[in-house]
């Protein structure tokens, strides 16, 4: 029988070819991934603008379709467009909270305005404008006074403003129009239509979650503070010749500390918006967002302490190099432990796993504090009756303050893991 030789490609060659193709594919995607990472905020803003444009087109169908336009009329159709323009926010939680506030304010204002208009029509004659005017004065003044309350202004200011607007429009319309209830109904339907379009697009078309933004920004703060501590330790113990003082650039940057200190208003807004958002991804309906706010407060206190190290770096009284060398090893070890602890806590929040700081982090921080306390003994620093000794003591005391505040931070993160149900690390 004749034999047929079937060429079989070498396995290694085929595998190498696959690796080359895979490598080529990865290389081709790397510029795209790099561009997206560098321009993430710009891309998100562009997506939000496109979403608002889609919402405006959809709500404008009330004008485009003759049947709908004849049904609701020009005066009522504009309320749907106004609703989209006013309540569509960047984050889904912000859109939902603002939309519900507008809906509640519209219903309450429209209902009370309708009652005031009906009461004025029942009185009739000169009493009609009198009743409406008194009602506008009472409800408008009371609602305006409520807006001056800090708690109400912070959370419900938009809803109260819509209540005042709707109440006045509906009640005053009763002076000239007989079918007040029909006007209120049609306007409410248009507002609900605009609200529904905004919510559907905001939640289902590339949603921007305030909870994700809060989570990621909180993690980045840990990394930023850790890098700042490392930079401070490195710059403080760096040996620099007098001739090189002008050319050497400082290694410590305090921009992250300043950013953390200025993050209070943004964190409060993100926490409030995150509470309105539905279940999505890793975050359930009962996620402890208030704990993020508490952690943010401790991080700001920690950033303030780290920022005070800048005074030691820029102090005109520079300690002698020999005096610095005597505390260099324990201080560098302390700085390394502090940076590691911050990164570990940030990773715990990022991966939503419990690192159990009470089991090994807090004891380690206490050990670091004890080592720094030993540095402060007169044997190490010599007599503290000179400027050099006071400068070193100030630097070490500030590091001890960082350790104490980091102990509080580790406890807060541990409580967050318990409340949020983080997995065991």
Percentage, residues of the chain above pLDDT 70:
76
* Angle 339-345-349 from CA coordinates, rounded to 5°: 145
Q: pLDDT value at position 241?
A: 41
DSSP state of 5: P
Single out the residue of 355, 321, 360 nearest to residue 337, CA to CA: 360
Q: What average pLDDT score do residues 209-227 get?
A: 92
Q: What is the pLDDT of residues 100-146, one digit of tens each?
A: 988 899 889 888 888 888 888 888 777 788 888 899 999 999 999 99
pLDDT per position as a tens digit, 342-356: 999 999 899 888 775
**pTM of the predicted protein model:** 0.79
pLDDT over 60 (residue 405): yes
Q: What is the average per-residue pLDDT within 312-319?
A: 62
Residues 6 or more apart in contact with residue 284 via CB below 8 angstroms: none
Q: What are phi and psi of 355, to 5 degrees?
A: -95, -5
- In the prediction, which pLDDT does 57 show? 92
Mean pLDDT of 312-335: 72
pLDDT above 70 for 156: yes
pLDDT-based confidence at 37, cuts 50/70/90? low
Mean per-residue pLDDT of the chain: 80
Provide the pLDDT confidence category of residue 179 given band limits of 50, 70 and 90.
low
Higher-confidence position of 205 and 69: 205
Closest CA to 269 of 300, 298, 296, 299: 296
Q: Is the model's pLDDT at 291 over the cut of 90?
A: yes
Find residue 423's DSSP bridge partners: 353
Query: Considering only 287-291, 326-330, 381-385, 418-422, which range has the smallest mean pLDDT?
Result: 381-385
CB 63, CB 77: distance < 8 Å:
yes
Residue 33 to residues 23, 30, 406: CA-CA distances in angstroms? 15, 5, 35
Q: Check residue 298 and give its pLDDT.
A: 94
Which carries the bigger pLDDT value, residue 362 or residue 329? 329
- Which pLDDT belongs to residue 128? 81
Q: At what angle do helices 92-123 and 180-204 cross, to 10 degrees?
A: 180
Q: Report which secondary-structure segment, H or E, holds 319.
A: none
Does the structure show a pLDDT above 70 at 203? yes
Q: Residue 94 has what pLDDT?
A: 92
- pLDDT classification of 10: cutoffs 50, 70, 90: low
pLDDT over threshold 50, residue 379:
no
Q: Does residue 325 register a pLDDT over 70?
A: yes
* 162, containing H or E segment: helix 150-173
Report which of 324, 333, 316, 315 is spatially closest to residue 380, judged by C-alpha positions.
324
In this structure, what are the phi and psi dihedrals at residue 424, rounded to the nearest 5 degrees?
-70, 135
pLDDT at 365: 76
């Amino acid at each position: 029988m004749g034999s047929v030789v079937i060429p079989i490609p070498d396995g290694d060659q085929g595998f190498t070819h696959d690796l080359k193709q895979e490598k080529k594919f990865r290389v081709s995607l790397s510029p795209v991934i790099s561009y997206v990472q560098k321009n993430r905020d710009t891309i998100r803003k562009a997506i939000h603008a496109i979403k608002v444009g889609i919402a405006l087109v959809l709500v404008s169908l009330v004008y485009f379709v003759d049947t709908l336009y004849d049904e609701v009329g020009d005066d009522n159709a504009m309320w749907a467009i106004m609703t989209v323009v006013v309540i569509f926010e960047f984050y889904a939680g912000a859109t939902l909270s603002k939309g519900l506030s507008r809906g509640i304010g519209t219903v309450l204002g429209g209902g009370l305005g309708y009652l005031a208009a009906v009461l004025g029509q029942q009185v009739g004659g000169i009493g009609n404008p009198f009743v409406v005017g008194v009602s506008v004065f009472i409800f408008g003044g009371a609602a305006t006074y409520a807006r001056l309350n800090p708690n109400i202004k912070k959370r419900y200011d938009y809803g109260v403003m819509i209540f005042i607007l709707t109440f006045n429009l509906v009640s005053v319309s009763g002076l000239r129009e007989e079918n007040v209830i029909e006007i209120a109904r049609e306007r409410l339907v248009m507002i609900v239509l605009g609200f529904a379009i905004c919510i559907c697009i905001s939640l289902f078309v590339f949603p921007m979650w305030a909870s994700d933004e809060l989570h990621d920004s909180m993690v980045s703060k840990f990394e930023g503070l850790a890098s700042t501590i490392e930079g401070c330790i490195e710059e403080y113990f760096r040996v620099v010749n007098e001739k090189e003082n002008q050319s050497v650039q400082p290694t410590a940057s305090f921009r992250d500390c300043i950013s953390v200190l200025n993050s209070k208003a943004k964190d409060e807004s993100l926490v409030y918006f995150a509470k309105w958002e539905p279940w999505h991804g890793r975050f359930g309906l009962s996620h402890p967002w208030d704990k993020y706010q508490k952690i943010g407060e401790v991080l700001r206190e920690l950033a303030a302490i780290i920022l005070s190290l800048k005074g030691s770096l820029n102090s005109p009284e520079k300690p002698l190099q020999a005096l610095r060398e005597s505390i260099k090893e324990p201080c560098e070890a302390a700085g390394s432990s502090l940076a590691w602890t911050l990164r570990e806590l940030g990773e715990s929040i990022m991966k939503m796993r419990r690192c159990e700081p009470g089991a090994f982090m807090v004891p380690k921080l206490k050990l670091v504090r004890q080592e720094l306390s030993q540095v402060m003994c007169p044997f190490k620093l010599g007599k503290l009756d000179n400027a050099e000794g006071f400068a070193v003591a100030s630097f070490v005391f500030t590091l001890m303050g960082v350790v104490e505040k980091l102990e509080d931070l580790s406890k807060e993160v541990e409580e967050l893991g318990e409340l949020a149900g983080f997995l065991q690390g």
